[in-house]
Structure 1
């Protein structure tokens, strides 16, 4: 090994140390979550890092049946799925003219959308609650979906606009010569090419909506309409908490998002790589 290669290897050591420390910081909570799913509450208190005395699925069974976890899961799947679909659809429709047409007002409109990323929506919770009440959307899944779509649109438009700007205009011109209208250009030409952007928007929207506790708390009053975070809270009592069931419910709630990430992982990696070359 030459001295130049040796110096290069030594120069990489600090970066590897930081990566290993970060990996350990991420892996430790996951390890505690996994082993705690199979422990009793007493075992968790006695040794939070140790392995369970018996590997059983009793905590998962109790978590599923104790609070009708399936109902909460279906509510979250419905709300999250609708929010993802509408966010991708509306963001693509808004980003397409802003990024592909030569419009004088495109930049101010895009800046207006991007301002939504910087504004904390929770500061307007009272006004939003009043608006939802006047529209008759309180205590409904549809109202919750509308709120999530409105919150996620600025970020989604930002992602789509940057990806669409990098595409050559010859793609649209060729499609129009073949007789395609604007809708067909967008959905049959542009969107298939920017699949990484679709994957990024979908996974970030899904994670944000799936894990949200705040808006279902203030907009949903019917227990039958509440989402997965409320199922986990149901196991936390005033005098006693079954921590094994809490960890099992957390693992169950993480499973759909992890599955979605695994399915979209390749598209997300491509999107991150392509994002570095966007101008």
Structure 2
């Protein structure tokens, strides 16, 4: 590499290194704080622990009943993701593949659902859930999350489906396939990157949400992981070691899912490019 090229690329590397440091610093704090006591965290937030121990993980798991809370979070997240994927794919298919006079207006309506903050309607939502008998229910929480994420998912699916050649479904119709089979057997596998994007963003949003479980769930046995972590936050004392340990435990499943689906996005993008 010549000196001129080195100095030309140096600013990019400096920006990249700076961004890497900004991203890695919170992760470093999380990892080292999981292994320290609260006193050590206050004394030296960035320092290494005096001794490496997993006591915070054991205590957090036992005191907060994280096992049960993780199951609740898995149930709510998986249900919300499945409902969001199925409903949004079925909504985006006619809007993107058929010539509908009101298709553009309907997409604009879904786009408005992305821009409007749902928390402004928290009181009305609570009243509606109580009237439907869905308060203190994991299924009710699934429906709330799915309804919030569907506008974004429809927007993503519609943009991916719009660029596909129409010969795909025309050939399937000639072979006698119905619209549902065309959608789920032909269109959805091709737009696998869209499925992965929607699944990742929905999972992260649902898994980490604290607000809606707080106002809709009252039974301790139905609480999700974000609510369980608040057990270690008190009015006069907070056990930060257990808070960080709980955060690390809750972060592991989402990280694993992201790594798996990120690989599928790359593979799906290659498949979509080949179809085009």
What is the DSSP-based 3-state SS (H/G/I as helix, E as strand, rest coil) of the residue aligned with 1:234? helix
Name the counterpart of 1:114: 111
Q: Deviation of residue 233 (structure 1)?
A: 0.7
Residue-by-residue CA offset, 1:115-174 (whole Å, 9 max, x unaligned): 101101111111111111111111111111111001000110010000001111111111
What's the Cα RMSD here? 1.9
Matching residue within 18, 42, 47 for 1:45: 42
Residue-by-residue CA offset, 1:4-51 (whole Å, 9 max, x unaligned): xx6554333322222211110010010010011111111111111111
Contact 2:134 2:140 in 1 (8 A): yes
Q: Deviation of residue 176 (structure 1)?
A: 1.2
How many pairs does the alignment contain?
Answer: 273
Structure 1: how far apart are the matches of 2:172 and 2:214? 47
Contact 1:163 1:275 in 2 (8 A): no
TM-score by length of 1: 0.93
Matching residue within 139, 152, 155 for 2:152: 155
Matching residue within 241, 253, 258 for 1:256: 253
Alignment pair present for 1:136 and 2:133: yes
Alignment pair present for 1:93 and 2:57: no
Q: Deviation of residue 266 (structure 1)?
A: 1.5
Structure 1 outlier segments of 4+, above 3 Å = 6-11, 268-276
Q: Deviation of residue 267 (structure 1)?
A: 2.6
Unaligned runs of 5+ in 1: none
TM-score by length of 2: 0.94
* Residue 146 to residue 32, structure 1, CA distance change in 2 (3 Å): same
Name the counterpart of 1:234: 231
Structure 2: how far apart are the matches of 1:214 and 1:170? 45
Unaligned runs of 5+ in 2: none
Structure 1: how far apart are the matches of 2:14 and 2:166? 45
1:168-179 alignment to 2 at 5 Å? Answer: 168-179=165-176
Contact 2:56 2:241 in 1 (8 A): yes
Q: Deviation of residue 271 (structure 1)?
A: 6.8
Q: Deviation of residue 57 (structure 1)?
A: 1.0
Contact 1:72 1:226 in 2 (8 A): yes
* Residue 168 to residue 207, structure 1, CA distance change in 2 (3 Å): same
Matching residue within 198, 203, 209 for 2:200: 203
